[in-house]
Amino acid sequence: QCFIIDPYRFRIIKDSWNKTDKRDSRNMSKALWVYMVTGEFGLPLVYKPSALIRELRKLYAQYQVLNKQIRVFKNNIQSVLADNGVVLPILQKNHLLSKKRGMDVLEELDISEASRISIKMNQEILWCVLEKKEELVNEILRIGEPLKEDVELLISIRGITPLTSLAFLADVGDIRRFKTLRKMNAYLGLVPKLKESGARSRSGPCWISLSFADRHITGF
């Protein structure tokens, strides 16, 4: 059995003025012995996500990678168009990026041959990545099936999808590890920062944690 102690909550170490590896190790050994023998001493353990949550986090990490790659190829296509002085309406640009009409739109563009080849290559790779992203979404939903009850509860909120709810559950894990709602909001980056200057103080913007923002907002 393995115990991972949170040093910021382990007061024997946190409040000690004489911090050395040897002394800290001795204190942790004593605390573990008391805990295992008597059960009277509670250890401040680090939260360990379940195997399911760890699997979902791995898949969402890959989801982020695919989203970044999609943005790269879209930006490459836009850059080539800009180099040729081509400005497409939103609808036509969407058609250029779609697998169904992309090649037809490309043939109609008045651009150099090298630019046409470049766009075509980016289109083909983009469509391949989009297909893999769709496969990944299906895998996320399949692996997240054991969390069906929690997902159904979350999607009752307007605007929340099964994919979004699983992203939230994968990021937060066990909601009971947060003692207060404010602590959970702080973990997600939803608590505004306070800015103080002299006697004045004002609330700053909320910075949602990058991990949750990429999964919760980008590409959903």
> Mean pLDDT over residues 156-170, rounded?
90
The domains of the chain are located at: 1-46, 51-175, 180-216
Please tell me the distance from the alpha carbon of residue 24 to that of residue 209, in angstroms, as a whole number: 32
Which residues, at least 6 apart from 211, have a Cβ–Cβ distance to it below 8 Å? 171
Please tell me the distance from the alpha carbon of residue 175 to that of residue 173, in angstroms, as a whole number: 6
**Confidence band, pLDDT 50/70/90 cuts, at residue 80:** very high
Which residues, at least 6 apart from 23, have a Cβ–Cβ distance to it below 8 Å? 16
Name the pTM for this structure. Answer: 0.72
Taken in order 104, 109, 113, 118, the sign of the CA dihedral is negative
Count of CA atoms in the C-beta half-sphere (13 A) of 140: 27
Identify the residue with better confidence: 120 or 30. 120
Residue 45 DSSP symbol: B
pLDDT tens digits, one per residue of 45-79: 777 888 999 999 999 999 999 999 999 999 999 99
Predicted pLDDT of residue 215:
47
